[in-house]
Amino acid sequence: MRLSLTINGRSRDVDVEPHRTLLEVLRDTLGIFDVKEGCNEGVCGACTVLLDGRPVSSCLVLAPTAGSRAITTVRGLEGGGELHPLQQAFLRHGAVQCGFCTPGMLLTALAFLERHPGADRETLRHAIEGNLCRCTGYAKILDALEYYARG
Amino acid sequence: MADAVALERGLRLVGQRVIRHDARDKVIAATAYAGDWAMPGMLHGVVVRSPYPSARIRSLDTAPAAAMPGVAIVITARDVPHNTLWTDVPGQTTEVGPLRARLHVLAEDRVRHQGEPIALIAAETLEQARDAAEAVDVDYEPLPGVFDAAAALEPGAPAVHDAGNLLAHWTVKRGDVAAGFARAEVIVEGEYRTQLVDSAYLEPESGVAWIDSDGVITIRLSTQVIEHFRDVAEVLNVPQNRVRVIGAYLGGGFGGKEDVTVEVYLGLLTWKTGRPVKMVWTRQESLLARAKRHPYRLRYRTGALRTGEIVAQEIEILGDSGGYAYLSALVLLYSTVTAAGPYRVSAASVDARVAYTNNPPTSAMRGFGGMQTVFGYESQMDRLARTLGLSPLEVRRVNAIRRGDALPVGQVIETYVALPELIDRAWAGLGEPTRSRAPHLKIGRGVACNLQPYGRIVWLHDWSSAWVGFEMDGSLVVRCGCPDVGGGQASSLCQIAAEVLGVALERVSVHIADSALTPLAGTTTASRQLYMSGNAVLKASRELRDQLLAAAARLLDADADALEMADDAVHATDGRSLPLVELLRACARMGVARSHLGVYHAPAGEPVDLEKGSGKVFPDYTFGCHAAEVEVDTQTGVVRVLKLVAAHDVGRAINPQSVEGQIQGGAVMGLGYALMEEVVVQDGINLTTSFASYLIPTASDVPDVDPLVLESGEGLGPFGARGIGEPPIAPPAAAIANAIEDATGVRITQLPITPERVARALGLVVDPQ
């Protein structure tokens, strides 16, 4: 079926089979590799994208259901060549090691912080529990989120 | 640290919390991981795996699969030019003899574990390849299997391999152990069990292979070891210089990408079809089939005087290798060497065996056999303290190994050991005791120390090489074959080169992990890359600086010793300076090289006779101490870790932020090992092949680990650095078990410490009968 997806503000037309997941269409059909595949069963959070500003595991979303909605990947966070302040906070606080969880982690956290500005560390800890990280032990990710949340 | 060396002062970049170049790429998702790669016209490869843990293959019919739509090729064992990979283990000292352990690329007539590869398929689409995998017709005859290491060594146990189920056996005998126990005023005994766990990196095994325009088989994948290009060549029976491995930045490794993963399969598929091929394992496949950490049964008998001084240790270790050898014999060697912990003991015996079973295979994982033993020896230290009425800290201080002391294998520790400071700082780091919120919530504290080798076994004659050179505009290039698993390996190399050559970090580009284009640097394993490749880059940079300063001395008519490189220029002590770009142009005119290849050789030695305790096994060790505070719910058995302080002597922190990250991440992985992680296997069948059933810590499961970085300057790495990749994973399990006993009086001896185990120990669960 013919599908028009709005990805980071730009419209992309694709032919997809109706059973394809959004993750498959983004990575395999469109070559948008900033969305990662970690488990393909909705547990790890690596494939997180924002649908109309809400984080979803793109491996659990059928692509046709995303047709009328705004899809944001981590590439959509930069503005005018500048890193998003949350990306800068990740750098400043050493929140990145292997980086495989980073795109999903950034998007989940950003969506949460937009709804809960100024959230404290313990709240943020629970907000990212659906995004697994095997490298950092989460402390420096929380350092970055807390720094950003405090403005 | 009165007798430790002084740290080199006045450094500009080394020791700074610099932002890693790879982190910049990763926050915008510019990094192309192995699975983020595609080639025009590429096929998709899949592996057909055995559903049985022990079976004979009566027949294998690939014709139905080959006839499926889109299928380009089906490969079985008989199509593989050389179907065997080898692990060599020199120096083994027992009846097993020197080991040449075999691993089939694809199963021939026998399968020895669930998930063992049987056949390879490449097709136009991934769906077509998966459909074809279903159509491969394998007639299996299920055979009796053995699923426990002790049972595997019983007479009459089903033979996993023809030569018997004992894969390796190391023994150590130091001093008169019987006399030691006779002298002991107290003896404590314990048996401990550790479980099977998975590396569980977020990025599954993945890669793309193609035949390049020069005919070279090129494989770009996620690997800790680009030197596996040689294994691919051997399997394909082509010259080694016709295979190139490019190591992408990894989405985690932790030892699970040390053995071959997809590269041999990709090599076969692309070589046989002439087309590019992509292979990405599913999470289920990764959890099912990849080698994991060995489950151990550890038995300790420890004799001590009333002062706490240990006078005898008797240690038995039994590990489960699963269906194949992989690196098990070497993992067991690490356990053997570290079995008595970082403590002096004049009389010790270690008897360590690892057996084949039909369980999932086990091999390298962060800590590499130096981890399981910590749960044994550090549980014993607390048992000893409790028996003697001494503080757990005091018992450790009394016995802590010092420079000049020997481990039971006979290796004398040549560098400063900061254990007393580490113990004090870790304990103090816990701060004020947390007050219990309710009578049934008990609070307790515990510590655990460890030692972990860094760098490879000395008789492997380890080396690394790196190339450092200036471009004409004064920008700097580092080339080094080092894979970056996410720990900041490549970034640290840039920091070292920029430090020595006086340029800004932003002016350095680094090319890593390409077996054709970067000087080989060895494996990113064994906590060795900062140590080995850091030294290679340091050597290359210093020699390059010396040759450039010699040229500058001629141009400035000055003494080279009176010149230094800083801020993109050469500065003389008399105030004159020469811009770097002018110097480089002059070098070009004078024929002075603007690059240098540095080769670093680690201290080497011959295989030692462990039993006789004849000497050095590893270049050096990293020491640490963790302190944990836990809350135990005595109504449910749930354990919550409230605080975890992790102190390590890292020698020198090149980038303190990366060092803290290693400590925090390693400690949390160790916390998962302590409380929740377990690959559950029933009669050889893996029941936890999903992240929904194989649980790793989430942000909510763990406290913020407090990393305490101690810098003695005593390491063998650049600027006195020690390896820190592996050490932090090991102590949490024992520290938490010790804290639970402090809180509740019950000792947990089996990992993971689930609520059920704690509840049983507390007598909350009573089984019928």
Model confidence over B482-534: pLDDT tens digits?
999 999 999 999 999 999 999 999 999 999 999 999 999 999 999 999 999 99
Which pLDDT value is given to residue A79? 80
Q: Give mean pLDDT, residues B10-34.
A: 96
| Number of domains observed in the structure of chain B | 3
Question: For residue A101, what is the nearest residue in chain B, using CA coordinates?
Answer: B202
Note the pLDDT of residue B88.
64
Residues of B within 8 A of A99 (CB-CB) are: 22-23, 25-27, 31, 249, 251, 486
Q: Looking at chain B from residue 744 to 763, which residues have their Cβ under 8 Å from any Cβ of chain A? A: none
Name the E strands within B4-136: 43-49, 55-61, 71-76, 84-89, 99-104, 110-111, 117-123
What is the pLDDT at residue B103?
A: 85
A 81-100 residues with CB < 8 A to B: 83, 87, 90-92, 94, 96-100
A11 shares its domain with A69: yes
Q: What is the pTM of this model?
A: 0.97
Q: Quote the distance between the C-alpha of residue B336 and its chain's center.
A: 17
Per-residue pLDDT at B1? 59
How many whole angstroms separate alpha carbon B326 and alpha carbon B322? 9
ipTM: 0.98
Residue B90 pLDDT level (bands cut at 50, 70, 90):
low
Domain boundary (A75, A102, A128) is at A75
pLDDT of residue B100: 61
Q: What is the mean pLDDT of residues B18-37?
A: 97
Given a cut of 80, is residue B96 above it in pLDDT? no
Asked whether residue B244 falls in the same domain as residue B132, the answer is yes
Q: Which of B22, B657, B700 sits opposite A126 (nearest CB)?
A: B700
Confirm whether A80 is domain-assigned: no
Based on the fold, state whether residues B563 and B709 are members of the same structural domain: no
Q: Residue B540 sits in a domain of what CATH number?
A: 3.30.365.10
> Does a structural domain hold residue B344?
yes
Q: State pLDDT tens for residues B205-256.
A: 999 999 999 999 999 999 999 999 999 999 999 999 999 999 999 999 999 9
Containing domain of residue A108, as a range?
Answer: 85-149
Does residue B565 sit in the same domain as residue B693? Answer: no
Mean residue pLDDT across chain B: 95
Indicate if B471 and B551 belong to the same structural domain: yes
Identify whether residues B308 and B214 lie together within a single domain: no
Quote the CA–CA distance of A54 and B351 in Å, as a whole number.
Answer: 57
Angle of helix A139-149 versus helix A102-115 axis, rounded to 10 = 30
| pLDDT digits 0-9 by tens, B703-754 | 999 999 999 999 999 999 999 999 999 999 999 999 999 999 999 999 999 9
**Sign of the CA dihedral B12, B15, B21, B23?**
negative
Domain CATH code at residue A91: 1.10.150.120
Shared domain for B86 and B105, answered yes or no, is: yes
What pLDDT score was predicted for residue A78? Answer: 85
Q: Give every CB contact of residue B736 below 8 A, 6+ residues apart in sequence.
A: B446, B628, B630, B639, B641, B671, B674, B675, B753
User: Over the stretch B268-310, which tens digit does the pLDDT of each residue have?
Assistant: 999 999 999 999 999 999 999 899 999 999 999 999 999 999 9
User: To probe the interface with A, which of B20, B25, B27, B39 has the most A CB atoms within 10 Å?
Assistant: B27
CA separation, residue B142 to residues B58, B104, B112, B687 (Å): 10, 19, 10, 19
Q: Is residue A109 part of a domain?
A: yes
The residue type of B210 is W
Burial of B412 (0-12, 13-18, 19+ CB in 10 A): exposed
Say yes or no: B270 and B320 in one domain: no
For the residues of B639-696, what is the DSSP string, one character each?
A: EEEEEEEEEEE-S--SSHHHHHHHHHHHHHHHHHHHHT----EETTEES--STTTS--
- Within-domain flag for A145: yes
Tell me, yes or no, whether B507 and B443 share the same domain.
no
Domain match, B468 and B451 both: no
Cβ <8 Å between B661 and A103: no
Is the Cβ–Cβ distance between B721 and B531 less than 8 Å? yes
Per-residue pLDDT tens for B562-599?
Answer: 999 999 999 999 999 999 999 999 999 999 999 999 99
**A 1-40: CB under 8 A from B:** 28, 31, 33-34, 36-40
- Count up the domains in chain A and report the number: 2
pLDDT recorded at residue B767? 75
If asked whether residues A7 and A71 sit together in one domain, one would say yes
Reported as a single tens digit per residue, the pLDDT across A110-135 is 999 999 999 999 999 999 999 999 99
Same domain, A66 and A90: no
Q: Among A43, A75, A107, which residue terminates a domain?
A: A75
Per-residue pLDDT band at B93 (split at 50, 70, 90): very low
pLDDT by residue for chain A (151 residues), tens digit each? Answer: 999 999 999 999 999 999 999 999 999 999 999 999 999 999 999 999 999 999 999 999 999 999 989 999 999 998 888 999 999 999 999 999 999 999 999 999 999 999 999 999 999 999 999 999 999 999 999 999 999 999 8
Hey, is the C-beta of A135 within 8 angstroms of any chain B C-beta? yes
Pair A34, A66 in one domain: yes
Q: Is residue A15 domain-shared with residue A62, that is, in the same domain?
A: yes
Question: What are the tens digits of pLDDT across the range B29-66?
Answer: 999 999 999 999 999 999 999 999 999 999 999 999 99
Q: What is the domain extent for residue B467? A: 21-31+463-601
B114 and B236 belong to one structural domain: yes
Q: Looking at the predicted structure, is the pLDDT value of residue B624 above 70?
A: yes
